[in-house]
């Protein structure tokens, strides 16, 4: 039998707190999990600095990737049981697509590095691009395993992740507005943070999913389950992913890496204190091997060393990050954004370098979007299938979803050192400055002198 | 008001997936949590290599310590509501003991380093001793915070952890056969692994706990809840903590650190490849500052570097650990232990250094013990309080607990490379050796030539 | 000590699957639970015919009432711990209000009879009115227990349920848009049906509730928890409470009781087949004692007897109800409502009495409403408290809640016998009629001849 | 296609709080669920008077029967996927057995009447016998549905329930020491009571179950899951099923029915107060139709009527049952059983008829048993399958199970009116008698004059 179709003599399971068990039935899946490139994901946290706000959220990208694989596997099982293709192009599920779907699901986040969002911002890396390179580069173990299926299999898997694979059902399983990726991370992040907003009825959503020639749609009987998923997602963004304290820790991390990068040119090239695993990134010359050496622990190890660095700003920011001393923040809007300049001046007067000790940052998300011919980037809208087989777009019949469709939700915040909010007259000589600063803020929002937002 | 009694203007909460919320009411507790020494615990996994078996178990000692604090806080609340002391030595709860209990609960694991069990074994460190040093040494932030309560407060907290504190109720809250420490780790490890065996009825156990002059006892109406806790604990040991794959990864880790230590004398003292954060431990000269720099990420960073080391054994073991390639193992007993020698000889013949590629290891636990005047080390037995106020020891009335009382449960295993179990005649020239090796094993147990265990 | 303040020597607990434990601390509460009037609630299902759709939903009003009590008790505890009144009219929590709040919470549903909604509709009873009568009538055990607190205590408790009690905090605990009643039934109905939409974060909502002089408001930090509650409520209505099959069973029940009532005048007054426990209701002359004899089992017992009745319609409807044979239904709207007349004519032609075998029924709910001076009946809107103490109404800052504010959600349905949807040409002589009937329906909605809704 | 094999065009689901969804795929299963005989089970509580102790436990036998069906269906699926029979008598799973297994699972409790245990005791009915009669009698709807499969199908289904069906795998699915029946009721009763002791890892147990020629065994890798199930079962018996208050309510129910039976001969045969639905049972002449009319509500309706009966004992016991006023109780043993006579004399002196107001009652259960050639009735022991395919009996390798094997656990109790425990000297003229009575009891146990048990 071809390797491609080789099943394990007995299915293997991984105990998973979110999905109970993750079932592995194919040799190739087990071999992929056992590659060093995939095992590296154990050492990269899924939510990065969010664990500074929700201490339970210490799970890794490894767990999440297994979860996405498992949801995809269940979708394939249900599709094959209830909607098996009987002839070409009948819009039903062709189970020969299963393996490429499973591999793409498992590997879709393979290129994530430590503190991915911030790291990419500072070093101009791109995790999607790196994912594709790990899959298609002939030097990786992942590539070698995939090629045992067929010579063009790595490219196929990459094209699913790249959204260019011809079968839209396979692509939408992994990437659409209600896909295995999002469903796993919402459930998993809710479980590990302890936030209860992210839970929705996965079993029911899987039950109402069905293939059609344009991709994947949902039986109309499950509309409320899909609604609930959209709302849960919105709630997780507002409550967890956009939490001001996590964003504050990201600001510190970002400034810390920036400072290190700026100092790097002055570093001796070969001393114990040289962050040599980071040097390829400081110099913008890295290869896949350099990248695959990185994980959260490596970065933290350098941060620990930088705590003793003679550069006061580098040392202080490293301490703030490791010891969890976040900046404070306040919301602002377009009307009063101009006031930040005055606030920064006060911060400068009390002794801070505003380049490293202040920041503005916005977090916005589009909870759901419908197709709009005027827009450039088209997301796949959610289609509900009526009794007579016709499709109807979700927001046209759900008042709840309509209410959030196309709306960017989130806020813009200005970050600054905690001391600025001090209220203790007896101790601080800077107290008058602090009070001036505080007069710009009311109910967590910057206000002008008339007290208006 | 004295700092000691200062409560936060509004209680602060931490979202926790196990206890829902952790409530912080005292300034001193919040200040302790914010020390660098306590924040370091975020970077040390609670279960070490167990996450290689149960991938969800990625939680840190930080989470566990908050959990032990919270259970202790709830016990204090219940004791104060239902059993407040009215006069000295009435055997009821004296709420002036609350703060020392809470601090000891929070800090009891402060001295744990990375991969604690294995690290201690190789480098002869002792986490309990280090916990006490962090608390009592004048140079730590923890000590400074504790001293704001009173000059002798650090010593008091240390003495609770040390079991020498005069009030047995406080000591038993943190350390006894049914204490806040064990209750949190069972629930937490069960939650994060996804194993369901560790769950028991915490609310009910807290409800039947009560203080008496000898410490803490349990109302007899809660006997079954206590039984259930004992059995859950036993199940977690058998199913999770003693899992052969986790122990196998510990064996690899242990041999990896041993090899590095042995090679360390030959290392150049000042090169990028020198593991200088580990050198104090290789040399058995470390101070508290050296120790507090260590975490899982630091060790893993060295392991990543060792993957490229020219020493083949160091490099191979580092790869096996990071890439998760465990040894296989089999049970043995006293009768057939002698056969391991022959098995090792085969392993040697196929090319392995048996010092690094084999190991024996036993894991035993005493699920419950009653007082026995003949024994040297006395554990605190569990006492049930009858309607008339008299106490009765748990195992005397619970047949279930009696069945496990004083019994060491667990097994002894012999570890070896996976290849030895190969069954594929076509590929391996060593196949005859492998077959000989396999003739020593049946049903996961070493057997002699007659097929007997 | 006055009875009013007498606490039980040790608090008593009831194991509850939703709240884990229900804690009873006052003698008067325990005595109320033990009255026959309250115990009767064990024999009245909380959700009536909904258990025909969600078979797990077999819980009683007894369980729900305990749950409302428990949530109220927790609110009192939190208010007393965090916001205790220090002087008259300071807008904080006066704990002398605790007992009246607890009693009102426990007793608020005391007057519910069997299949309350339908029963009231047919027999023109009113459960709120009966609740007040049970509390204030001198002949009930409940009244006797309440009077041991003080002579005017029954009237006080009744006035809380009646919304005329002077303290708005007490009234709003039991009755407002986010009260103990609704919070318990959402959580409980979700637990027993197995629907996951009804869950929300009770602990967090309780934590952000706070008293003010106008009643109860919520700290703005808990806005998302309140949002989630509103949405959960909406989902439960759409998914569970408005389920077409449950409404269909209610239609059958309603017609069955109607038929029995119409036949009752012809019944012999004293035969074994006379439903004499129902006669006072058929005759519109009942007293409290008659009412308190009724429960689900009594009604079902008569239905069992009516199965053998010589009146074919009574017998058939009784069978349909007990054996769960619901009508089918389809949605309609104002535009095509007129078509129902034609559909009824077909139903008549195939032999059914349309008075008993068809029905129209609408189910609408207002998920949330804000104060509107133009409206007659004012609901209490949800107020969020900002950092500076000012209040802001929920829908003004939550886009999600704004989307559903003031909107009636639900549908109108036309019910008819299942046979009308038959598609089997071979068996039924009425098949041409059935096909004509079916031409009025598409995608679960009545359409006109052009196929339009 | 034969009716037997007809699958529903689309599988139907029932939302279930314990199993999430119950999947119905066969026409015959859906038709069985829709029979009046099966729907009757909605009106019979699973746990009878236990809901007086655990108020949440209001679930019906209907829910349980669906649950047993669902577990059986999952076992069939797993067996068919992993262990499909390839030739006759190969000891693997023959999927042509699926339908008989599913029907037997669904119908195994069909003959249960209201308050089954007590009812059978008083009226000498037998629910197992009645189950068989409902299945095989030509006049029931259940029989008619089953016969559409084949003429001998009802007998086949009955023989599975009767343990005489030739295929031991099918029999053991429904009835053995770890079967679908027990697994469902433990999980369900735990869910509805809120007791947490009954939970175990169903998914894992199903995963390690496998067919063999002697029936069903378990892979040795799942030993701890099976252990956990045994212990959970033991805990549910000790904590829930044997709860003294539930047993006390059963005593009252039993005495109430006994009194009614004794009075029945004196009743007028045709008056509104005649319990004519019970008369066939009072007279020991009932047919299936009489039996199928009974449910909890019918009995409760008579109890409500008896509250006004002129017989003081009948009326009082009816009130005690409906209003939940249990007797108190105390444990005794063989040594001091003789003292009950003296205690009864006191009870008589204070005015009670000891025949109706006292009782002795024991509750014992055998948590697990292994085969013992000396015993008459053989239970099926639990067999674990080792790597080499050989079987080993559970208690020989599990110390935990060995500890409870063959042991009857439980207690004997003496029940009496609550007043006997009164301690209030001021009110009761019988107080000296009460005190004498109380001198027989210490720590919930009867003691002799020396204070010994």
- Comparing alpha-carbon positions, the chain D residue that sits nearest to C54 is D15
Residue D86's alpha-carbon distances to A294, D91, D94, D170, in angstroms, are: 52, 9, 8, 18
Nearest by CB to residue D58, choosing from C18, C60, C272, is C60
Co-location of C131 and C226 in the same domain = yes
Q: Which of B242, B272, B301 is the last residue of a domain?
A: B242
> What residues of D are in contact with residue A70 (Cβ under 8 Å)?
none
CB C381 within 8 A of CB C370: yes
- Inter-residue contact D47 to D249 (CB < 8 Å): no
Q: Would you state the pLDDT for residue D1? A: 47
Question: Where among B326, B341, B364 does a domain terminate?
Answer: B326
**Chain C residues interacting with chain A (CB cutoff of 8 angstroms):** 196-197, 199-201, 220, 224, 227-228, 231, 234-235, 238-239, 386-388, 390, 399-400, 402-404, 407, 409, 442-444
Residues 6+ apart with CB under 8 A from D345: none
Q: Which residues pair with D360 in a beta bridge?
A: D414
Question: Which site among D20, D83, D222, D389 would you substitute to test the A interface, given the most A Cβ atoms closer than 10 Å to its Cβ?
Answer: D20
pLDDT of residue A10: 82
CB contact under 8 A, C82 and B207: no
Same domain, C25 and C167: yes
Q: Which of C11, C13, C203 sits opposite B20 (nearest CB)?
A: C203
Of B274, B298, B323, the CB nearest to A301: B298
Q: Supply the pLDDT for residue D357.
A: 98
What is d(CA C444, CA D125) in angstroms, rounded to the nearest whole number?
48
Q: Which of B200, B204, B210, B385 to mutate to test the interface with C (most CBs of C within 10 A)?
A: B204
Are residues D325 and C328 in contact, defined by beta-carbon separation less than 8 angstroms? no
- Give the chain D residue whose CA is nearest to the CA of B398: D409
Which tokens sit at A131? Answer: 């994912």
Nearest CA in chain A to B304: A293
**How many Å separate Cα A451 from the centre of its chain?**
37
Q: Which of A53, A233, A239 to mutate to test the interface with C (most CBs of C within 10 A)?
A: A239
Domain assignment of residue D211, yes or no: yes
CB contact under 8 A, C297 and D293: no
φ/ψ of D413, rounded to 5, equals: -135, 150
Distance CA B223, CA D411 (A): 15
Chain B residues with CB within 8 Å of chain D CB:
196-197, 199-201, 220, 224, 227-228, 231, 234-235, 238-239, 386-388, 390, 399-400, 402-404, 407, 409, 442-444
The minimum CA-CA distance between B403 and chain D, rounded to whole Å, is 5
Cα B232 to Cα A322: distance, rounded to the nearest angstrom: 36
Let me know the angle formed at the C-alpha of B241 by B238 and B244, rounded to the nearest 5 degrees: 80
Q: Are residues C165 and C238 in the same domain?
A: yes
Chain D residues touching residue A13 (CB < 8 angstroms): 207
pLDDT at C1: 47
Cβ neighbours, 10 Å, residue C286: 18
Q: How far apart are CA C138 and CA C438, in angstroms?
A: 58
- List of chain B residues whose C-beta atoms are within 8 Å of the C-beta of residue A59: 56, 58
* One domain, residues B132 and B255: no
From B28's Cα to the closest Cα of chain C, the distance in A is 20
Closest residue by Cα to residue D399 from B178, B240, B375, B399 = B399
DSSP state of B353: -
Is residue D373 a part of any domain in this protein? no
Predicted confidence at residue C270, as pLDDT, reads: 62
Asked if residue B136 and residue B58 are part of one domain, the reply reads yes
Residues of A with CB below 8 A from C235's CB?
224, 227-228
* Residue numbers in B near C11 (CB within 8 A): 82
Looking up residue D446, the CATH number of its domain turns out to be: 1.20.1250.30
Please count the structural domains in chain C.
Answer: 3
pLDDT at B252 over 90: yes
Q: What are phi and psi of C309, to 5 degrees?
A: -70, 150
pLDDT tens digits for C193-218? 998 777 899 999 999 999 999 999 99
Question: What tens-digit pLDDT sequence spans chain A (453 residues)?
Answer: 455 567 888 889 999 999 999 999 999 999 999 999 999 999 999 999 999 999 999 999 999 999 999 999 999 999 998 899 999 999 999 999 999 999 999 999 999 999 999 999 999 999 999 999 999 999 999 999 999 999 999 999 999 999 999 999 999 999 999 999 999 999 999 999 998 777 899 999 999 999 999 999 999 999 999 999 999 999 999 999 999 999 999 999 999 999 999 998 776 666 666 888 999 999 889 999 999 999 999 999 999 999 999 999 999 999 999 999 999 999 999 999 999 999 999 999 999 999 999 999 999 888 888 877 677 655 689 999 999 999 999 999 998 898 888 888 899 999 999 999 998 777 778 999 999 999 999 999 999 999 888
- Alpha carbons within 13 angstroms on the beta-carbon side of residue D212 total 16
- Tokens 């009930």 correspond to C140
In a domain, B373, yes or no: no
CA distances from D339 to B350, D342, D437 (A): 77, 5, 11
What is the C-alpha to C-alpha distance for residues D328 and D415, in angstroms, rounded to an integer? Answer: 6
DSSP bridge pairs for D368:
D405
Examine the domain organization and report whether A154 and A45 are in the same domain: yes
CB-nearest partner of D21 from A10, A20, A203: A203
Inspect the interface and report whether the beta carbons of A197 and C201 lie closer than 8 Å.
yes
Question: Which subunits sit against A, judged by 3+ Cβ pairs under 8 A?
Answer: B, C, D
* C300: three-class secondary structure by DSSP: helix
Structure tokens at B130: 């280090």
Question: Which residues, in sequence order, are CB contacts of B403 under 8 Å at separation 6+?
Answer: D399, D400, D402, D403, D404
Give yes or no: residues D100 and D160 share one domain: yes
Which residue positions in chain D have pLDDT lower than 50? 1
Question: Which chain D positions have a beta carbon within 8 Å of B402's beta carbon?
Answer: 403
- For residue D333, what is the enclosing H or E element? none
> How close A396 comes to chain C (CA, Å)?
14
Contact of D317 with D259, CB cutoff 8 Å: yes
What tokens appear for C33 in the block? 């639970």
Q: Do C94 and C80 meet the contact criterion of CB atoms below 8 Å apart? A: no
Residue D375 is assigned to a structural domain of this protein: no
- What Cα–Cα distance (Å) separates residue A13 from each residue in A29, A41, A188, D203, D219? 12, 19, 18, 12, 14
Query: How many Cβ contacts (< 8 angstroms) between chains A and C?
Result: 64
How confident is the prediction along chain C (453 residues), in pLDDT tens digits per residue?
A: 455 567 888 889 999 999 999 999 999 999 999 999 999 999 999 999 999 999 999 999 999 999 999 999 999 999 998 899 999 989 999 999 999 999 999 999 999 999 999 999 999 999 999 999 999 999 999 999 999 999 999 999 999 999 999 999 999 999 999 999 999 999 999 999 998 777 899 999 999 999 999 999 999 999 999 999 999 999 999 999 999 999 999 999 999 999 999 998 776 666 666 888 999 999 889 999 999 999 999 999 999 999 999 999 999 999 999 999 999 999 999 999 999 999 999 999 999 999 999 999 999 888 888 877 677 655 689 999 999 999 999 999 998 898 888 888 899 999 999 999 998 777 778 999 999 999 999 999 999 999 888
Does residue D433 fall inside a structural domain?
Answer: yes
* Closest Cβ opposite residue B224 in set D238, D387, D403: D238
Residue B376 lies in a domain: no
What is the distance in angstroms between the CA of the first residue and the CA of the last residue of chain A? 70
Angle subtended by helix axes C340-349 and C431-438, to nearest 10:
170
Based on the domain organization, do D179 and D221 belong to the same domain?
Answer: yes
To test the contact with chain D by mutation, choose from B222, B403, B439, B447 the residue with the greatest count of D C-beta atoms within 10 A, namely: B403
Percentage, residues of chain B above pLDDT 70? 96
Give the residue from D202, D226, D223 showing the smallest Cα distance to D78.
D202
Residue B115: the pLDDT is 96
Burial of residue A15 (CB within 10 Å: 0-12, 13-18, 19+) is: buried
Residue C295 · residue D300 · CB < 8 Å: yes
Least Cα separation, residue A185 to chain D (angstroms): 21
**A294 min Cα distance to partner chain C (Å):** 37
- DSSP per-residue codes, A286-338: --HHHHHT--HHHHHHHHHHHTT-S-HHHHHHHHHHHTT-PPEEEEE-TTTGG
For residue A1, what pLDDT is reported?
Answer: 47
Handedness of CA C149, C150, C151, C152 (dihedral sign): negative
Which partners does chain D have (≥3 C-beta pairs < 8 Å)? A, B, C
pLDDT at site C378: 58
Residue D290 lies in a domain: yes
Residue B1: pLDDT over 50: no
What are C268's two structure tokens? 């012999």
Model confidence band, residue B269 (pLDDT cutoffs 50, 70, 90): low
What integer is the mean pLDDT of B30-48? 98
* Encoded tokens for B66: 């908050």
Closest CA to B180 of B155, B156, B149, B216: B216
Instruction: Provide, as residue numbers in chain C, all residues whose Cβ is less than 8 Å from the Cβ of A451.
Output: none
Pair D184, D228 in one domain? yes
Pair A271, A318 in one domain: yes
Closest CA to C281 of C301, C295, C261, C266: C261
Residues paired with A60 in a beta bridge: A45
For residue B231, the domain's CATH number is 1.10.3210.10
The order of strands in the sheet holding B209-212 is B209-212, B215-219, B383-385, B391-393
Q: How far apart are CA A74 and CA A180, in angstroms?
A: 10
β-pair partners for B361? B413
Q: Which residues of B touch A199 (CB under 8 A)?
A: none
| Domain of residue A264, residue span | 249-326
Is B68:B105 a contact under the CB 8 Å cutoff?
yes
ipTM above 0.90, yes or no: yes
DSSP one-letter code for A385: E
- With beta carbons under 8 A apart, name residues in chain C contacting B21: 203, 207
Which pTM was predicted?
Answer: 0.95
Dig out the tokens for C392 from the structure: 């802001």
Nearest CB partner across the interface for B56, out of A43, A59, A297: A59
- C237 in the same domain as C111: yes
| Chains sharing 3 or more CB pairs under 8 A with chain C | A, B, D
H, E, C per residue of C256-283: HHHHHHHHHCCCCCCCCCCCCCCHHHHC
- Kindly determine whether residue C231 and residue A400, on different chains, have CB atoms separated by under 8 Å: yes
The 8 Å CB, 24+ separation contacts for A436-445 are A436/A346, A437/A343, A437/A346, A437/A347, A440/A330, A440/A339, A440/A342, A440/A343, A441/A330, A442/C387, A442/C388, A443/C220, A443/C386, A443/C387, A443/C388, A443/C390, A444/A330, A444/A331, A444/C387, A445/A330, A445/A331, A445/A332, A445/A333
Residue D372 lies in a domain: no
The CA distance from A107 to the nearest CA of chain D, in Å, is 27
Query: Looking at the structure, do residues A194 and A312 belong to the same domain, yes or no?
Result: no
């Amino acid at each position: 039998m071809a390797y491609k179709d080789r099943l394990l003599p007995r299915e293997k399971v991984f105990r998973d707190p979110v999905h109970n068990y993750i079932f592995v039935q194919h040799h190739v899946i087990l071999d992929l999990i056992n590659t060093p490139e995939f095992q590296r994901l154990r050492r990269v946290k899924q939510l990065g600095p969010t664990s500074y706000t929700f201490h339970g959220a210490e799970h890794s990208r490894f767990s999440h990737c297994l979860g996405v694989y498992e949801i995809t596997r269940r979708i394939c099982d249900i599709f094959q049981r209830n909607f098996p293709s009987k002839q070409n192009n009948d819009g039903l599920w062709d189970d020969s697509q299963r393996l490429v779907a499973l591999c793409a699901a498992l590997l879709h986040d393979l290129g994530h590095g430590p503190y991915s969002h911030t790291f990419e911002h500072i070093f101009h890396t791109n995790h999607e691009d790196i994912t594709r390179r790990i899959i298609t580069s002939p030097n990786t173990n992942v590539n070698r395993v995939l090629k045992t299926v067929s010579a063009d299999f790595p490219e196929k898997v990459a094209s699913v992740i790249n959204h260019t694979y011809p079968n839209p059902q396979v692509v939408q399983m992994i990437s659409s507005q209600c896909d295995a990726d999002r469903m796993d991370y919402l459930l998993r992040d809710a479980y590990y943070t302890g936030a209860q907003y992210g839970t929705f009825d996965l079993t029911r959503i899987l039950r109402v999913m069905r293939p059609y020639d344009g991709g994947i749609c949902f039986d109309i009987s499950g509309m409320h389950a899909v609604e609930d998923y959209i709302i849960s997602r919105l709630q997780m963004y507002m409550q967890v992913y956009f939490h001001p304290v996590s964003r504050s820790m990201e600001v510190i991390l970002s400034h810390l890496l920036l400072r290190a990068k700026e100092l790097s040119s002055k570093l001796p090239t070969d001393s114990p204190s040289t962050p040599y695993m980071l040097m390829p990134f400081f110099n913008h010359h890295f290869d896949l091997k350099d990248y695959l050496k990185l994980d959260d622990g490596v970065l933290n190890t350098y941060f620990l060393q930088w705590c003793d660095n003679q550069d006061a700003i580098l040392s202080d920011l490293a301490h703030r990050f490791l010891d969890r001393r976040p900046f404070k923040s306040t919301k602002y809007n377009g009307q009063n954004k101009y006031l930040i300049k005055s606030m920064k001046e006060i911060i400068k007067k009390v002794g801070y370098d505003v380049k490293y000790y202040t920041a503005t940052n916005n977090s916005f998300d589009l909870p759901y979007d419908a197709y709009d011919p005027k827009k450039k980037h088209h997301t796949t809208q959610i289609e509900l299938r009526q009794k007579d087989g016709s499709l109807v777009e979700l927001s046209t019949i759900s008042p709840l979803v309509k209410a959030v469709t196309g709306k960017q939700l989130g806020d813009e915040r200005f970050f600054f050192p905690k001391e600025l909010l001090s209220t203790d007259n007896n101790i601080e000589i800077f107290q008058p400055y602090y009070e001036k600063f505080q007069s710009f803020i009311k109910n967590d929002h910057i206000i002008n002198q008339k007290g208006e937002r």
